[in-house]
């Protein structure tokens, strides 16, 4: 999957190159649908207080793409636990496994969005005290550092929360490692 990036609209980092959750979500959705996954499956009426839908489901597996605020990780995992214990079916199968996909800390991103390393810490602490019975697989999106990679650069019609694409082009990007393992990389467009 190519790295999807955009310019930030956030105060203090406006114009900086950051991870593009909208473009990444669109790419993932197209790939999963191509592989037979159902998307945006409505949550059954008795549990709609937990949200409107799950991102993807197939054969008892729920996949949640988690690029938003870090607090939503707990919502996604807790409701998946409820679906598991209630034997809730999505696309004809009981919930047996949840997969959470998120980006790595290496990517500059909007403030307060979840990153993989943070999710590992949260889920490790919760599993230590056996909060969940549902099997959970956490998947992090990473890229090679100190290299040049193909990217998809997107400009949206509105700077804030838009999903309408004005321009989407393929480019090259140099990913320069941060000063430490806990630092974000610099994404240098070429």
For residues 18 and 5, the answer to whether their CB atoms sit within 8 Å is: yes
Separation of alpha carbons 63 and 76, rounded Å: 10
From CA 7, how far away is CA 11, in angstroms rounded?
A: 12
Query: Beta strand 136-141 with 97-103: parallel, antiparallel or unpaired?
Result: parallel
User: Can you list the domains of the chain with their CATH numbers?
Assistant: 3-189 (3.40.91.20)
Q: With contact defined as beta carbons under 8 Å apart, do 149 and 173 qualify?
A: yes
pLDDT in tens, 106-160: 999 988 899 999 999 999 999 999 999 999 999 999 999 999 999 999 999 877 6
Predicted confidence (pLDDT) at residue 162 exceeds the cutoff of 80: no
Least confident of 81-85, 102-106, 110-114: 110-114
Q: What percent of the chain has pLDDT over 70?
A: 99
pLDDT band at 164 (very low <50, low <70, confident <90, very high): confident
How does the average pLDDT of the chain come out, rounded?
94
The closest alpha carbon to 100, from 84, 124, 76, 79, belongs to 76
DSSP 2: P
pTM for the model stands at 0.92
**Percentage above 90 pLDDT, the chain:** 86
């Amino acid at each position: 999957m190519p790295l999807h990036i955009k310019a930030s609209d956030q105060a203090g980092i406006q114009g900086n190159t950051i991870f593009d959750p909208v473009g990444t979500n669109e790419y993932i959705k197209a790939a999963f649908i191509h592989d037979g996954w159902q998307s945006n499956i409505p949550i059954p009426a008795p549990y709609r207080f937990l949200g409107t839908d799950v991102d993807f489901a197939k054969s008892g597996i729920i996949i949640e793409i988690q690029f938003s605020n870090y607090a939503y990780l707990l919502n996604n995992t807790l409701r998946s636990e409820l679906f598991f214990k209630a034997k809730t079916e999505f696309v004809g199968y009981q919930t047996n496994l949840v997969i959470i996909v998120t980006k790595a800390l290496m990517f500059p991103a909007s403030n307060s969005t979840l990153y993989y390393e943070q999710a590992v810490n949260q889920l490790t602490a919760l599993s230590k005290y056996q909060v969940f019975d549902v099997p959970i697989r956490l998947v992090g999106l990473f890229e090679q550092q100190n290299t040049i990679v193909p990217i998809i650069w997107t400009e949206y019609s509105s700077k804030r929360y838009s999903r309408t694409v004005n321009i989407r082009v393929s480019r090259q990007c140099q990913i320069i490692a941060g000063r430490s393992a806990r630092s974000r990389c610099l994404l240098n467009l070429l």
